[in-house]
Amino acid sequence: MIPRTFPEAFSLRDQTALITGGGTGIGLAIAHAMHAAGAQVVLVGRREAELAQAAQGLGTGATALEHDVTATGGAPALIARAEAAVGPITCLVNNAGIHLKKPAVETSVEEFERVLRTHVLGAHALTAAVAPGMMARKAGHILFTASMASLFGLPQVVAYAAAKSAYLGMVRTYATEFSPQGVRVNAIAPGWIDTALSRQAMAGDPRRRERIIARTPMAAFGDPLDIGWAAVYLASPAARFVTGVILPVDGGVSIGF
């Protein structure tokens, strides 16, 4: 049934979202927005104290579970733990990730593998663990946090770009397999977002910040909640006919120069 009123179309009431990397940055912003839209949220990450603080800040309806996504064999147990605590997971947000900035020829195979295990294999393990339940219920949404590195070449991030580019194929393949059973799969590709990590990267390098602003048509950095509200839309009934898409939220960076 398609909602006919504005609030209901974008409401996440009666939904439960599990968000990896949910304790800080973009993951926490997605959790905040989804929680504000009415969803229960389960924040997943490796740092227990950080997760607990984030969940406490969100208040009632927020739960924290410690888990390392690279421990792929533990994905089914994580989903079971989460569902025992809060009920069926209706939305999975594959957001956890690590960054590696190095020239390609200096990037070791071990470093490359570590990035792929976190982004690609970790996300696949959780997707494979949660999707059967969603398909049995004929409803669910799986969301990936992609990147500008999924869309065009960036120097010195070959492992990260490979991982984020893999998301494009994963999203499209999962969407073709899962959507007939009522499970939509999409991705958001953030542009340059004003997070603690990006501020740290820009510290002492005002020219880099100026270059980024100059190549962004909206001439600004995004806010983490710009990603959060886009995630709410994609998970909401308003996007019931949207699957297999990569949504840039980037101030226009990806449209070219």
**Active site residue ranges:** 160
Would the CA dihedral through 232, 235, 237, 238 be positive or negative? positive
Tokens 């910040």, located at residue? 209
Burial class (CB in 10 A: 0-12, 13-18, 19+), 199: exposed
Beta carbons within 8 Å of 191's beta carbon, 6+ residues apart? 148, 216, 222, 248, 249, 250, 251, 253, 254
Q: Which 3 state secondary structure label does DSSP give 18?
A: strand
Q: What are phi and psi of 143, to 5 degrees?
A: -125, 135
Between the alpha carbon of residue 38 and those of residues 33, 105, 130, 233, the distances in Å are: 9, 47, 21, 13
| Residue among 243, 186, 199, 217 nearest 30 (CA) | 186
